[in-house]
Amino acid sequence: MSTKVVVAMSGGVDSSVAAALLQRQGYEVIGMMMRLWSEPGRESHNRCCTPESMGIARQVAGQLGIPFYAVNAQESFRSTVVEYFLEGYASGVTPNPCLACNRHIRWEFLLERALAQGAEFMATGHYVRLQREPGQPERLFEAVDQAKDQSYVLSVLRPDQLRHALFPLGDLTKPEVRAIAAELNLPAATSKESQDLCFLGGEDYRAFLQRNAPQLGAPGPIQNRAGEVLGEHSGLIHYTIGQRKGLGIAAPEPFYVLEKDQAQNALIVGNQDELGDRELSAGQMNWTQGAAPSEPFAADVKIRYKATKAPAQISPLEGDRVHIRFDDPQRGFTPGQAAVIYREGEVLGGGLIEAAPPKAARSQVQLAEALA
């Protein structure tokens, strides 16, 4: 009897080719697609589950001769991803909903339903590699195609989830995937890609926030670190850490957004030298091998999805937190985004960047380094 695997389908070329490759490898493949939440009145805009994409996924499943199921995940998606997005901005951070979606929806909600179908594995079209060795925990690595690598958003996966995961595209490039789709005459072969948040449907996130959390669009002061008022902003949701243009401040040197003070509804700006920093703290750490390291160690860290990894010293702290000190100053630490830790291409773990390393954390780091 062949091994059963559920493929999380979206109607796109990546998940379609993932299903075809696994079938070619002898797995018993089942297609499963989630119906996700869409803003009332804009149901046709969610790019992950439009009627068109659902139709393409069904067509691919029919062409491959595999069962296909649609799963209603609308309420779970709204309560765990959309609310996370809104609450993040309300608290003054810049959340990454893809992290929450992979953690709670795809690799909890959908994985549970895959296992309930009797599947041993669940597969996705993510560009990431998984290494399996007998008697050892699964190890997560970057994809061969660095331009498409999605290991950053999968740093949330735990060992028990990786045990049931398959990523058939990790050793392929995007052109190779499209070539396979064309060879198999899959209807998704020429489908367009979208990097937008699925529930925004291509719309600017600020418009979504203004409709669903209008209080976040209130104007307020633009200040420097000393508290001097330099101008007025049009709502904190309109600005991102590191932003230079569009501040409306006349000055000899350009200003950059350093942070957003939600409590005071103030936008804090400074010069380029103030934007760089070497240290950050991250919380809610997930370690892909399960246990947190007990001693400081050197590794590479990525602070945004498209950022370049940079060498740093990582010091574990109490309460699922770490202190990270980069070898060289980095620009644009953004609270709410993930700091993902790598070693030679392997994803060791990741956590959410906090607003600033508190003094207590620095004391713990100094003590840990002194004892190391």
> Among all residues, which ones are annotated catalytic?
101, 198
19 touches 62 (CB < 8 A): no
CA angle 281, 286, 290 (to 5 degrees): 130
Q: What is the largest CA-CA distance in the chain?
A: 73
Q: What distance in Å separates the CA atoms of residue 256 and residue 163, rounded to the nearest whole number?
A: 44
Secondary element (H or E) of residue 19? helix 13-24
Give the CA radius of gyration of the chain.
22
Between helix 51-64 and helix 13-24 the angle, nearest 10°, is 20
- Measured CA distances, 326 to 45, 280, 301, 312, 356 (Å): 41, 9, 8, 4, 14
Q: For residue 74, which phi and psi values (nearest 5 degrees)?
A: -60, -50
Q: Which two tokens stand for residue 228?
A: 């001097």
Q: At what angle do helices 205-212 and 83-90 cross, to 10 degrees?
A: 90
Contact between 18 and 123 under an 8 Å Cβ cutoff? The reply is: yes
Distance, CA of 69 to CA of 75 (rounded, Å):
18
The Cα 255–Cα 257 span in angstroms is 7
Q: Report how far Cα 337 is from the mean position of its chain's Cα atoms.
A: 8
Residues with Cβ within 8 Å of residue 224, at least 6 apart in sequence: 230, 268, 269, 270
